[in-house]
Copies of this chain bind each other. A is one copy, B any other.
Amino acid sequence: MLSMTGFAMNAPLRRSLLNGHSSNPLVRKLEGLAPLSEADRSILDQLAAGARLADPHVDLIREGSAPDAAFLVLKGIACRYKHRQDGKRQILSYLLPGDLCDPDIAHLSRIDHALGTLSACSVARIPREALLFAVERHPNVAQAFRRAKIVEEAVTREWLVNLGCRSAIERIAHLFCELLLRLQAVGFAENDSFEFPVTQVELGDTTGLSNVHVNRTLQELRRQGLIATGQRRLIILDLPRLRALAEFQAGYLQPAVGTDLCTAH
């Protein structure tokens, strides 16, 4: 089913047709984190092959299970989340195209959080062994994955700050800035707008706010001329002011890749 050579030969052609960019968001993302050879890209294309469509609001990994595969998001938005007994839930992170949820965690104990879709998604299930194989054979890919992990951790830290000490409007503004940059990095944003089919309830689960207050806050952002919403899109009208409002520092999303180093562990 997967012809390595076929992929390897077609990839450059496909990319050249697309302005030098791969259509595989995983490639797009990792390219930004480490130099990739043609063979590296080819293996990533294989990992992304065989994607399936998933409905919105559906679980891909249930809390307490022990999955033996990673999930790679190719289209749409998924999230990690945890439920509390009283029904509240906290979204822990967004998985955008090119992001993957690796199953390492589950190999210590059962996984402590769920993975679910927010919007309709295209998702590839990557067996653990396939991922290991790719990483072992392709040091640059391994390097890029490690760097992706480091960025992910930085994002999580920023979310802690968001929840711990920003006001409602700052939280949402910060989230939108982050999403714009991350989506731009994988080619899923035009100018300063992107598809954003996330409900206000889900935004509340993300930012620790009630849906009613999310609504109020979105209105305020619109009133200030910072954003516009509609047709499941988010349009950022004034990025500089939005960033200022959120005290958004982009650095954590864009590691200086030229920096050599980071060859270890």
* Residues of A that sit less than 8 Å from B by CB: 80, 82, 84-85, 88-90, 92, 104-105, 107-110, 112-113, 128, 132, 135, 142, 145, 147, 150-151, 153-154, 156-157, 159-161, 163-166, 205, 207-208, 247, 251-252, 254-257, 259, 261-262, 264-265
Contacts and interface: CB of A to CB of B under 8 A. Distances in A.
Contact of A109 (B135, B160, B251): B251
A107 B165 contact: no
Contacts of A113: 157
A19 B63 CA distance: 38
A89 B160 CA distance: 11
B165 A88 contact: yes
B161 A159 contact: no
Contacts of A145: 265
B156 A82 contact: no
Given A107-B262, A165-B208, A159 B157 contact: no
Given A163-B160, A208-B163, A208-B164, A256 B84 contact: no
Contacts of A105: 150, 153-154
A29 to B, nearest CB: 14
A156 B164 CA distance: 13
Contacts of A257: 108
B84 A150 contact: no
B160 A160 contact: yes
Contacts of A247: 84-85
Contacts of A84: 161, 165-166, 247
A256 B110 CA distance: 9
Contact of A108 (B104, B135, B208, B262): B262
A187 to B, nearest CB: 22
Contacts of A85: 247
10 contacts: A84-B247, A92-B157, A104-B264, A108-B147, A108-B150, A108-B256, A112-B154, A164-B205, A164-B207, A165-B208
A232 B95 CA distance: 42
